[in-house]
Chain A
Amino acid sequence: MSKQRLNIIKIITMILIVASLIISGKAFLAHRNYKEAVVAGPSVTEVKTLGDYFAPLKGSVADCNIYILDSGKPGGTIFLIGGSHPEEPATNLTAEIFAENAVLKQGKLIIAIRANRSASTVTRPGDAYPQFYNIKTDWGTKKFRMGDRWSNPLDSWPDPEVYVHYPSKQMLAYMDIRNINRTWPGKKDGSITEQICYGFMNVIKEENVDLFIDLHEAELEYPVISTIVAHESGQNIAAMASMMLTDMEFAEPIGIEFSPKSLHGLSHREIGDHSDAVSLLFETPEPFLDRVRGVTDERLLLEGKDPFVMRAGKFGLLYESIDEDGWPIDVRVGRHCSTTLMVSQIWNQTNPGKGVIIENIPKYADVIDNGVGHYFKNPDEAVAEKVFYE
């Protein structure tokens, strides 16, 4: 090949590479810097940030909002977190419904919508996630960041050769040092994800949290699905909630799992062990996360319909059923809303004097009837002081 022709190829290649750097770079930055507006609901009395409980995180990418809904009437305190794994959208959507709508009649409710903000600023290489998803509301479309299971490597680099969990010394996968549900109870001078958990533990202690709820979603190929995972201290509540919900509300049952004592770093184990709070974790099915899924797009994320996953089900390879209706986001958010409400009701019955009465939150059937978006407020119509950004 002549020198001149070679140079032309090099120049064309470079132009294409620079163009792809600019196009993709803009997309990555737009995703990382996108802010979701949240209209603080009628019972929100204060909005702090995680940095208020652990100063080193103040102003950092991990400094998520902490919404405090105080009834002013003495009772217990429930702490609800969504977005532990930002690739599980039903979790932050549920938490946001609570933050925008809940009316507290007794006790206190604390909410983190984006528990791991860093993980919500990146999508996973090799998995072709959409960067955003859009939820139809009564006033237009609301756009949300899709995220990953792990904190952004830009905020936590490098990973160790092996991640040794603090304080149990259990060895875990190297990348799980960026997985918020493997870094509980956190470490003051640890990685940013360990520090996030440390910050949340401070919230739990300073706010005297009685009941902690961590929202999740799972692939249908994973055995821990459609369930409440409970620390020993919360097994009775979880068992009763699972029974009531399966009997009275849900089309598909919700089970109960006991938090394994030997598996460390998970919220249901460590928060129960390292604080006075009862710790529970809820799982809903998310076919988007299945390895055998077909086309990876926003539709699958929100509608939860996938013929490949269904086929896997026919071969008995799944731990949850799936049919042509799939597992739409309304069903998944509805399950989380109802499970949270049911657990709080049972909490109130079993802990007189420490009640947390939450009203104005849709139940499973309501969310399915009206759609998730129906419960989001229009930030353009809200007073500026009520609008916060995630």
Chain B
Amino acid sequence: MGILNTVIEFSYYLLSAFIAFVLIREIYKTENYQEAVLYSVILVPFILRILRIK
């Protein structure tokens, strides 16, 4: 059970990392400045969670 829980927890970090990756790609690709700013703001909690800071 312990190992399984660890795997599940790790998959949540992986999911967060994937979302962060898509956001970074979108920030790079977008040609709309408002989108770029909004995507950057959304990125913040994902980065801090992946780094296990918050």
Q: Is the CB of B37 within 8 A of A13?
A: yes
Max chain B CB contacts within 10 Å: which of A5, A10, A20?
A10
A1–B48 touching, CB < 8 Å: no
**Contact of A17 with B44 in the complex, beta carbons under 8 Å:** yes
Assembly CA distance A110 to B2 (angstroms):
30
Residue A74, interface by CB 8 Å? no
Are B52 and A21 in contact, with the CB atoms below 8 A?
no
B12 contacts A157, C-beta separation under 8 Å: yes
Q: For the complex, is A161 an interface residue (Cβ under 8 Å from B)? A: no
Binds B, one of A23-31, A76-84, A171-179, A305-313: A23-31
Return A104 CB to nearest CB of chain B, in Å. Answer: 39
- Residues A157 and B9 in contact in the complex (CB < 8 Å), given A17-B44, A21-B47, A189-B2: yes
CB distance from A174 to the nearest CB of B (A): 14
Is A248 at the interface (CB under 8 A from chain B)?
no
Contacts of A189 in B (CB 8 A): 1-2
Say yes or no: is A9 at the interface (Cβ < 8 Å to chain B): yes
Number of interface residues of B (CB under 8 A): 21
The 0/1 profile, CB within 8 Å of A marked 1, for residues 3-43 of chain B is: 00000110010000000000000011001010011001101
Instruction: Assess whether A128 is interfacial by the CB under 8 Å rule.
Output: no
Indicate if the CB atoms of A6 and B12 lie closer than 8 Å. no
Complex contact A158–B9 (CB within 8 A) = yes
Identify which of B1, B36, B47 contacts A9 (C-beta below 8 A).
B36
Interface 0/1 of A1-24, CB less than 8 Å to B: 101011001100110110011001
Measured between C-beta atoms, what is the minimum distance from A71 to chain B in Å? 40
Listed residue (A5, A13, A154) with the most chain B CB atoms within 10 angstroms of its CB: A13
Closest chain-A Cβ to B13's Cβ sits at a distance in Å of 8
Which chain A residues border B43 with CB–CB below 8 Å?
Answer: 17
Give the one of B28, B52, B54 with max A CB within 10 A: B54
Task: Please indicate the chain A residues that have their CB under 8 angstroms from the CB of B37 in the complex.
Answer: 9, 13
Contact assessment for A25 and B33 in the assembled complex, using a CB-CB cutoff below 8 Å? no
Q: CA–CA, A154 to B43, complex, Å?
A: 18
- Contact assessment for A17 and B33 in the assembled complex, using a CB-CB cutoff below 8 Å: no
With a cutoff of 8 Å between Cβ atoms, the chain A residues found around residue B33 in the complex are: 1, 5-6, 9-10
Are A6 and B54 closer than 8 Å at their CB atoms?
A: no
A246 to B51, CA, bound (A): 51
- Most B CB contacts (10 A, CB to CB) among A28, A157, A189 go to A157
Closest to A5 in B: B33
Apart from A10-B36, A28-B48, A158-B12, what are 11 other A-B pairs with CB-CB below 8 Å? A5-B33, A10-B27, A13-B36, A16-B40, A17-B41, A17-B44, A20-B44, A21-B47, A122-B54, A157-B12, A189-B1
Q: Which 10 A-B pairs have the closest CB atoms?
A: A9-B33, A17-B40, A13-B40, A28-B54, A25-B53, A10-B36, A28-B53, A13-B37, A189-B1, A154-B52
A residues near B, CB below 8 A? 1, 3, 5-6, 9-10, 13-14, 16-17, 20-21, 24-25, 28-29, 122, 154, 157-158, 189
